[in-house]
Chain A
Amino acid sequence: MKNLSIILLLMFGCFIKANTQSSTLKVGDLAPQMDVFDIQNQPFSLAQLKGKVVLIDFWASWCTACMKEQPLLKKLYHELDEEVRNGRFEIIGFSLDKKKENWQRAVDRLEIPWPQVSDLQFWKSPIAKAYGIQMLAFNVVIDENGKILGINQHGEDLEQLIKDHLN
């Protein structure tokens, strides 16, 4: 029990830190360009999503906090199903995995429905650097013009941010 408490304390501490970590980006900036490949090996550019509100979820199969957040994102994605179908909202999962098989296995296991992209460069990813990511889990919400609406928001704050903008 004592050990469990310590772990929870540490995890909570990490989560708080993740929420307050610094970033090279700020709200109102244009989101850095992202030209990578999706999980089906097709080219993907963030510019393709112009006109939509986009949640870019930076995650990895080895990131415990990220994996725990996926079901919450799935719930949000289903709630916004109409906006997704109308082309107003999308989630993009950017994986910091190094091995594609690990990434694919996690996507399959969690049945993540939104598009998945990666440069498969782990922490050496130039995209991770461009977005100023210091720790996972990390996300960015961008508006229809590619401008940043929110950085590293989670839970109800994230949900509120997206829904407020869409409404």
Chain B
Amino acid sequence: MFLLSINSNAQDVKTHWTAEQLMSPDTLAKRIQNHQTEHLTIVSVGYDDIIAGGVYVGAGEEEASINALRQLLQKTPKDQEVVIYCGCCPFAMCPNIRAPFQLLQEMGFKNAKLLNLKQNIKADWLDHDYPIKDE
């Protein structure tokens, strides 16, 4: 419950997301495995580009990454599903997810999602052998 409304000290940006805006790793993994990502844009706003089929814009704590995300989605239809992830650490301590998620709201994306990596990308994605990019 606390995770749904946090005033981040790190970025001083109040950001809200609802339970409906959280996508489970299992859901995303199944969609990638079943090739059901045609209307889904996966964006890493963290420190690495790990998830198969994703696009990397850089760490969300950096202004250049926010600009890259804006540029990436400029011509994307506003009803497109966009899921962002970082996975360095739990949401409460992550410096990268709030500003990008806020940008998605400001740009009017109605289906903006945050990948629900409760612990980190290792525990919630890599350890489950979910699809990753080839090296």
Residues of A within 8 A of B (CB): 3-4, 6-7, 9-11, 14, 60, 62-65, 97-99, 102, 122-124, 128, 133-136
Contact = CB atoms under 8 A, between A and B. Distances in A.
B122 A9 contact: no
A48 to B, nearest CB: 27
Contacts of A98: 47-48
Nearest to A121: B48
Given A14-B92, A63-B88, A124 B47 contact: no
Contacts of B2: 6, 9-10
Given A62-B47, A122-B47, A7 B92 contact: yes
A85 B2 CA distance: 48
12 contacts: A7-B9, A11-B93, A14-B89, A62-B95, A65-B93, A102-B47, A122-B48, A122-B50, A123-B122, A123-B126, A124-B132, A134-B123
Interface of B: 2-3, 6-7, 9-10, 47-48, 50, 59, 87-90, 92-93, 95-96, 119-123, 126, 132
A102 B96 CA distance: 15
A64 B93 contact: yes
B89 A64 contact: yes
Contacts of B59: 62
Nearest to B14: A3
B43 to A, nearest CB: 16
A99 B59 CA distance: 11
Contact of A3 (B6, B50, B90): B6
A65 B95 CA distance: 12
A14 B47 contact: no
A136 B47 CA distance: 15
Contact of A135 (B50, B92, B95, B120): B120
Nearest to A65: B93
A136 B90 CA distance: 10
A31 to B, nearest CB: 20
A14 B6 contact: no
A92 B18 CA distance: 41
Nearest to A14: B90
Contacts of B7: 3, 6-7
B49 to A, nearest CB: 9
A122 B9 CA distance: 24
Given A60-B88, A63-B89, A98-B48, A135 B119 contact: yes
A11 B3 CA distance: 12
Nearest to B8: A7
Contacts of B126: 123-124
